[in-house]
Each structure stands twice: as structure tokens, then as C-alpha cells.
Structure 1
Amino acid sequence: MKTITKIVTGISLVGLLFACNKEDKLNYKLQNYDTFTPGAIDDWITKNLTDPYNIEVVYRYQRNMHDINKNIAPADESKVIPQMDIVKKGFLEIYGKVGGVPFIKTYTPKQFALFGSGDYDPDGSVKGGTADGGRRITLYGLNGLNETNPGSVLGNLQVIHHEFTHIINQNRFIPPEFEKVCVGDYYANWTSFENTPAVARALGFVTPYSRKSVGEDFAEVLSHLVVRGQLFYDSYAYGSGATAYPKFKQKEVIVRDYMTKYFNIDVTQLQMEFQRVMEENYKSTEFKLPTLMSNNYVGWLDWDYRNSWGLSKQISAKQKEVLNPILDELGGWTTKSLQFRIVSSAKATLNITFGDNSNTYSAAIDFNITKQVDNTFKFVKSTTQGTGGAYDNAKIDWVVKDVTPLINYLGNTNFVLDWHTPLKDVSPQEYLKFMDFKDSKDPNAIILGQIIERKF
């Protein structure tokens, strides 16, 4: 039987060989049905991104560039140039100016892939972008971009700066001390109902998504510092409570040191350049003082110009007129500090400390903040004041006498709030540090204050 089997097998193989050698002509013409020819979009990409930055932009639909199990819409071609112009102005040029040409050539992603709709996950979350292999950034949701709306541009750039952080993290690892700040609080199932914004914030995370991993946390901190700005970050940290506040500030220090140590990039300069681009190119008011005041991002103002900051500044005659009665002394006591603390968008508290070498006392007076239709502000003494020692001290006759000129001036004047030094002239050391209360009827009457961060 073994012999028969071998013979049959051999015959079968011969037959197969014969069949394979038989040539059948295929009546089919191979043809490329893609009739695409490069046009104005491609010329713009070549001129603005490929030639100067060696960046490729894939905007024609490529299913292999997203999860093949998902249906994601292609990009609207009318949005391609606006999107990539935002990338160019709000990301590439900012890092190029601050980090220099070598940084851009080394770390800039070499490919951007664009898709029209969001990348929806089963848990209900939507990806705005991804960073792949350290060389590609994929952007989703392009068809919803409104390049004429500063808010839409800010949201778009938030994604871009977040994803770029992942790329630089793949080149220089996140310092291990960053994870230790919130060790034990990361939560991979970050979309779970119990991970509310309030819960994440109380734990020291700037967004619920930050809890997903150390990498996402790091990227959220840096992107928020740049895109939302320092005063937003400081205000958010303070509003998160005494336990969470130091965690936010520790993370900021680590992120800033990381950027300086590994890339020689000053985050403050990134913030300054980002603000300039948003204001000049997209007419954003996000970083203007009326907006910051309305959002309660300003913090506290030091009005004691006897401090070191006041020695190098020109103090107006009006500021001396209304503040000197307080600063000279209060009822024979030495005035130690004078702060105008922004408590909320609608409330401020004048806080004065006074005493001698052995004793310090406080006086507090609340003010209502009202924003006028012309974007000016008025600060009127509140009808209802707080209670307790500091508020009681403010009722002492000699405190009332010395504070009344300031109270009357604030309540009877409309103030234009503005930065003391224009953005184009300010140094990184004084950026977001000094603001003016300008009398709307007298441009020479200014109350200058130093912004100081709220602290517990």
C-alpha cells in the first residue's frame, strides 16, 4: 500500500505542475482610477510647511491612518489651509521663535494627518488628536473648526500643543518626580462617572483626562499653561483648594524645569508669544484684562508702592493722593501692607495690615465689582460687609478717615483696566505682573498695582 500511495501522489503532482504551467489570458485592464492632481492646497502646503519645515500633510482620506474599526469622516478640503495655517502660526512659529531652528528641525512632527469628524470611543469620549511614533500628529474634528472664532482656534491649538508634548516626551522622558506629585491618583478608566471635574480638580488634576496617565497629565499641564495662560492656571490651582493647590504648583515647576533643562525653552516666553499670535492673528480677547477680570483670573493686587517694585515705576499723583493717607500710617500704627484682593468676578476686598514690631492687625473692606457696557469697571463699597475682627477694625474712626478718599475715588470712577506695559515691550520678568486702573476721564490718573498670586 505504501508503494501505491507514492505512485498516486507522484501522478497528482505531475498533474498540478502541468496545470500551473498552463497560461490563461486575463481579459482585464489595470487602471488607476485616482484622478487626483495636486492643486492650490498642495501648493500652499509645499510653500508653507514642506519646504520650510519638511512637513507632509495628509488630508485626503486614508483609512489606514485611523482605527479601521471606526467610521471617521474625511476632511473638508476648504478647512485644510485654515487648519494648517493655525498650526503654522499658533504652534510652529511660536516654538521656532522661542526654541530656535535646531529645535524645530529636530522635534517638529514630520507629518500631520487630518480627518473631518471626531474619533469616538465606546466609553463616550472623543479624541481630538493623537501623536504617533514621535513623528506624526493626527487631528480629528477638522470639519467643525471655525477659524474666525478665537474660541474655536484656542480649542484646536490646545489639542495641537497637547499632542506635541507627547512627541517631546518620547525624546526626553518625563521626570519621575512628576508622577510622585499625584501618586496613586491616576485612573485609567478616566471617563467613569465618578471621575468628575470636581473630583479630578480636588486631587490636583487640571482636567479629568489628566488622570488617565502620567503622560496625559504632563501634556495637559504644559498645554494649559501655554494655551489657557498663566493667570488661568494660577486661578484654577487656587480655586481647587488648599490640598490640591501645592500639587498644581509642583507640577508647574517640574514642567518648566523640564522644558528649560532638555530644550532650553522658557515656558513664559512661549506664553508671551502665544498671546501675541492669538491677539494679532485671531483677535482674541482671552488675555485682555477685562476678560481676565470677568473670569476671576487676576488674583490679588499689591498697592503698596513703597515695596521694591514701586521704586522703579512712575506713580501717578492721583495714586499718591488716595493711597498716602493709608500708607503713611493708620492711627499712629505703621501700615505694613495694602492689597486689593479680587475675590470673584463680582467682589473684591481691600486688605490692610498695620501694627508695630510686636503686633499686626488687619482691616478689611468689601467692594462690589461692576462691569460697564463700555468694558470699564467700577468698584463700589458693598452695602453688606463681612463680620469679624478685620471688618470690625475697618470701622474704627481713624481707619475710616484714612480709607475714605480711596473708597470715594473707586466708587465714583469708571476704570479702564490694562497692562502697565504693552505686550510688545514687556519683559518675561514683568509679563502678567503689573496692571493699571486708568481713570476713564483722566488718562494720567492711574492706580498701578503688582499682581500677586493668591495663596493659602
Structure 2
Amino acid sequence: MKNILKVTSFLLLVALQFACRKTETLNVDYSSFNPDDPRTNTSTDQWLKSTFLDEYNIDVIYRYNRYYHGNTANVVPSKLENIRPTMQIVLDGFISPYRKIAGETFTKTYMPKEWVLFGSYSYANTADPGVAGTAAAGRRITLYGVNEYQPLPAGQFFAWDRHRIMHHEFGHILNQIIPIPTDFEAISKGFYKQPYTDTPTDTARRNGFVTSYASGISTEDYAETISWLLINGQVWYDDWANFANTAGKARFVQKENNVINYFNNLGISFKALQKEVQQYMIGIGRNETKFAYWLNKARTPLVTPAPNPAPAAVPTFKSLTINPSADYYVKYGGSTAFKQIYDAAVANVLAIAPGGRKINFVRFDFPSTSTITMNVNYTNSAGTVFDAKYAFNMAITVSTGQVKFTTGTAGGTDAPWVANAATLATAVKPLTDYLTGNTFVADWLPVNVTADDYMKLGGFTVLNTPGNYFYGPLAY
């Protein structure tokens, strides 16, 4: 036993001697062994750091990492050249509108702190249509399909679709922080159904949903309502609601008001945010944001029960009214050049014998997407109110917004089209000549309109003459 102890003590002494030897300092750059090391300071990394990490504490993860898509998903990495332009889309159309309207503090506090990018959509199997985006833990948004990026104009749909995903997923994140109002689910109670793919689009619209996907569950309904109101704008939403049925339209109105109140409780003007997002969409050339697109759009009403034959398609708008003495002209002002023409017609009508006539307003009715009726509402000396109607053809180029009016065919043989129209024909010639003698650009006017009135007023500007225009409230 003594020998064993002596040997053991000796071995321990030797071990301690070796353990106390001074270690050699190794100066090795380990990053040189991995050309795709996350610490590599490429120009893309520098831009992401200064634009997102330094400014918003947002970490953009674009190098492939299986941790971020789970074990059941199939994805491919992003093309490196698509990272910066994709995140520029995020900045311009998503983060910047929130920063401008919600403020710097809100944006830096609640904006997702991780953005994960993958090149393809996320597929569970070959039959899976693919996941376009997810939100997690109130702090992460994952965007898939980055490899589909294309520069504008070809990439317009990509930009719009990324925003559809982002605003939807951020809606979920906000709902994780502040719950959805309890009365929202009751609006479409009884109509939620899974799988949502079994609900056709028209059925979803009848039941008050912006998409079939929204009809699956109330949480998705809320996120979809937020997203589509922002990315396609108020006219799209109103059009979608107006051409549902009566019950469906009522649900759309309730849901919109619910969302507006939710954002108000966050200290955010939803209408102002909506206008900012729409301005971005106009900038990338998205048609659904253009007045000209909706002038050229007709839709078949969803009547329940459906008649046979189906009702004819009708234009989005019924009319646009011009009245320089109305509150909206007092609030926003008008075009001096157009006012001179309008006042000339007013003076001419007032001079009609016997007794003169007084123009009350001029309304443009839209019986179809290719015709327009100028309806001059006037009062005679006895105080009786009349209408005089004049028909024009309307040719619209949606891509440029340009509109050309030409003399059309009368829409009837009654007094407004014949006798009354003849009475005022010479007097209102300044207006009819103005319409047929110019090429116009249809737009949301005036340019200084507030967020609450945005897309509620529309008008026409003489091509290349921004100071010469007319506008008015739009009626559905």
C-alpha cells in the first residue's frame, strides 16, 4: 500500500509540474476559415447595421439558419443581391409610414426586432401552397420568397405582396401586445370556418371578410382587415363592401370602425397611416391606389339570393359633385383657372331671359366606365328646381391616369335631356368646351387633402397644367 501511495504521489507531482508550464499564445484569425462568417463586414452588412440595427435595434438575419424555420419546413436561402432591395421595401413602405404617423418612440419600441429572410416560401410538403410570412413572440417577422424580388416596374407585385405580409404579421404582433377587442369576433360570429380554402371569395365577401383566408378564424380576420385597408386603400375596401350584400356591408363597416378605434387607443391615426401607405403604393405604380383605375372599374353586385340573370356590372362611383360654395371648397380652396370657367357659365345662365336662372351645382354622373353625364342643377325665377343633362364619352388610360372627354349621345328623351338641356346649352358652353377641349389627368384631389378626406374627393387636372383642375366628393 505504501508503494502504491508513493507512486501515486510521484505521478501527481509530475502532472502538477506539467500543468504549471507557461502556455503559448496563439494568434489565429478564426474568421479566415469561414468565408461566410456572420461577422463578415460586407457592404450589405454595413448598410443593414446603420439603417436597421443602429437606428431601430433591428437585427436582419439573412444567412441561412435552420433554427428560424423549424424542422418541418422546407426552404432555400436568399439570394444575397436581393437582401438590400427587399429591406429597402420594408423601410420605405412599412417602417417609415409608422415612424411618421405613430412617432419615433412607438416605432422603435414596437417594431419587430428580428427580421428573418428566406429565399423561397416555406413548404411542409409538395402539396403545401407555401407560407409567405410569420410573426413570433411579438418580436420577429419572417419573410419568405425573397428570391422573387425584381426591380420596378416588374417588381411591383413583389413589393405590394411583401407589404401585404408585413402589415398582416405586424397586426398579429400588435395583437400579442394589446389583445383584439372582444367585440370583434362577434361581428362575423357563426361564419368562421376551417379549412378556409373551402370558402370561395364571393362567399367570404358576402359574410363580411376581405379574403377567404380571413374567414378561417377571428385572429386572421383582424390581421387581414388591417392589412387590406392599408395596402389597397379606402376605395378598394368601400368597393369590396358596397358590392357585397346588405348584411356583409354592415359587417365591413363595423370591422373598419373596430380597427380604427384599436389604433386610436394605441395613439395612432389609422386614416393617416393608411394615407401614408397609399402614397407609397402610388409611388410604385400600384393600380388599386389610382382614381383612374376605379373610374375604369365595374363590379357585379352580390345580391342574395342571386337573381337569374345576374345583375349587370356597375361602376365603382355613381357621381362627383362640383359646388364652389360647398364646405370642401372653403376648406381646401380650388383652381382659379377653373373657377373663371365655372363663373362664366353661372353668369351666362343667370342672364337667360326671362328672369334668369341660377346654377346650384354641377354633378358628373358615371353611368358606365366609358360615359359620363354632366348634370347641371339650376333654379328658375319662380324657385323651381330643374336638371339639364349633357352626355360625354370618357376614354381612360389607367397607367397614366389620362382621361379624354368627347361629346356623347343623349341618355333619354325627357326634359332634362331635351328641353332643359336646350335652354342652358349656350350658357354652359364654357363648361362643355372645357371638357372636350382638354386632356385631363384623374387623381385624388386636392393635393392638400387631410387623411380623413383622402380618397373621398376626386377630380381632374388639365394635362401638364397643375393649377387648372376641378374636384368634388365622390358618391358610391
Q: What's the TM-score, normalizing by structure 2?
A: 0.75
- Asked if structure 1 preserves the Cα contact closer than 8 Å seen for 2:410 and 2:417, the reply is no
SS of corresponding position for 1:215: helix
Matched letter for residue 395 of structure 1: W
The structure-2 alpha-carbon separation of the partners of 1:328 and 1:105, relative to structure 1 and needing over 3 Å to count, comes to farther
Root-mean-square deviation (CA, aligned residues, Å) is: 3.7
Where do residues 309-328 of structure 1 align in structure 2 (5 Å cutoff)?
A: 309-312=328-331, 313-314=333-334, 316-322=339-345
* Contact kept? 1:317, 1:445, Cα under 8 Å: no
Q: Which residue pairs with 2:250 in the alignment?
A: 246
Aligned match for 1:376, one of 392, 402, 415 = 402
The separation in 2 between residues aligned to 1:392 and 1:63, in whole angstroms, is 73
The answer to whether the Cα contact below 8 Å between 2:349 and 2:358 also exists between their aligned partners in 1 is no
Match of 1:180 in 2: 186
CA contact (8 A) 2:458 2:473 kept: yes
Q: Does 1:82 align with 2:85?
A: yes
Counterpart amino acid of 1:36?
Answer: D
SS of corresponding position for 1:451 = strand
Equivalents in 1 of 2:124, 2:422: separation in Å? 61
> The residue matched to 2:196 in structure 1 has which SS?
coil
| The one of 158, 162, 171 aligned to 1:152 | 158
- Contact 2:114–2:140 (Cα < 8 Å) also in 1: yes
Count, aligned residues? 413
- Letter of the 2:365 counterpart: R
Match of 1:94 in 2: 97
- 1:36 corresponds in structure 2 to 36
Residue in structure 2 matching 1:105, options 80, 89, 108: 108
Q: Percent identity?
A: 29
Aligned to 1:301: 320
Structure-1 separation of matches of 2:208 and 2:94:
27
CA–CA distance in structure 1, aligned partners of residues 292 and 79 of structure 2? 36
Deviation for aligned residue 1:57: 1.7
Distance 1:82 1:68 in 2: 29
SS for the counterpart of 2:224 is helix
Aligned position for 2:211: 207
Q: Distance between the aligned counterparts of 2:408 and 2:36, measured in 1?
A: 68
Deviations 1:168-199 (A, max 9, x none): 0111111122222222111221112xx22222
Partner in structure 1 of residue 262 of structure 2: 258
TM-superposed CA distance for 1:242, in Å, is 3.7
Distance 1:116 1:452, change over 3 A: same
Per-residue CA distance 1:266-316 (angstroms, 9 max, x = gap): 112212322444456x46676444345344666631213332223452461
SS of 2:189's partner is coil
Give the gaps of 5 or more residues in structure 2: 1-29, 298-314
* Aligned CA distance change for structure 1 residues 124 and 201 (closer, same or farther; 3 Å): farther
Structure 1, residues 99-130: CA drift from partner, whole Å, max 9, x if none?
11221232111111111111246665332101
Out of 290, 293, 298, the residue aligned to residue 292 of structure 2 is 290
User: Do the aligned residues in 1 keep the contact of 2:121 with 2:130 (CA within 8 Å)?
Assistant: yes
Cα offset, 1:402, TM superposition: 2.5
**1:189 maps to which of 189, 195, 214:** 195
Code of the residue aligned with 2:105 in structure 1: it is P
Deviations 1:178-224 (A, max 9, x none): 222222111221112xx222221222211111112112111112112
Distance 2:347 2:250 in 1: 36
Instruction: Identify if the C-alpha distance between structure 1 residues 327 and 235 changes in structure 2 by more than 3 Å, giving closer, same or farther.
Output: farther
CA distance in 2 between counterparts of 1:361 and 1:124 reads: 62
Equivalent residue number for residue 461 of structure 2: 438
Match of 1:129 among 118, 130, 133: 133
**Cα distance in 2 between the residues matched to 1:240 and 1:408:** 39
Aligned partner letter, 1:305: P
Corresponding residue SS for 2:405: strand
Question: Residue 335 of structure 1: CA displacement?
Answer: 7.0
Check the 8 A contact 1:433/1:451 in 2, yes or no: yes
Paired amino acid for 1:113: V
Deviation at residue 381 of structure 1 after TM alignment = 5.1
Distance in 2, Cα, partners of 1:377 & 1:366: 15
Rounded to whole Å, the distance in 2 between the matches of 1:297 and 1:124 is 36
Note the C-alpha offset of 1:136: 0.9
* 1:111/1:375 CA distance change after superposition, 3 Å: closer
Corresponding letter in the other structure for 1:416:
V
Q: Give a deviation string over 1:68-108, Cα, whole Å, max 9, x none.
A: 22321111111111111211222112211211122123211
Q: CA deviation at 1:443?
A: 6.3
Q: Report the more deviating stretch, 158-167 or 310-319.
A: 310-319
C-alpha separation in 1, matches of 2:226 and 2:350: 40
Q: In structure 2, how many angstroms separate the alpha carbons of the residues matched to 1:238 and 1:297?
A: 9
Deviation, 1:244, is 2.5
Question: In the alignment, is residue 73 of structure 1 matched against residue 76 of structure 2?
Answer: yes
Q: Amino acid of the residue matched to residue 92 of structure 1?
A: I
CA contact (8 A) 1:186 1:213 kept: yes
3-state SS in 2 of match to 1:224: helix
Counterpart in 2 of 1:397?
419
Tell me the equivalent position of 1:18: none
Task: Name the CA shift for 1:407/1:178 in 2 (closer, same or farther; >3 Å).
Answer: farther
Q: CA deviation at 1:334?
A: 8.1
Counterpart CA distance in 1 for 2:423 and 2:393 is: 21
2:222 maps to amino acid: F
**SS in structure 1 of the partner of residue 441 of structure 2:** strand
Task: Please tell me whether the aligned partners of residues 83 and 147 of structure 1 are also in contact (alpha carbons under 8 angstroms).
Answer: no
2:347 and 2:69 map into 1 onto residues whose CA distance is 66
1:234·1:453 contact (CA, 8 Å) conserved in 2? no
Deviation at 1:140, TM superposition (A): 0.8
Distance in 2 between residues matched to 1:171 and 1:277, nearest whole Å: 27
Deviation at 1:411, TM superposition (A): 3.9
Distance 2:288 2:277 in 1: 11
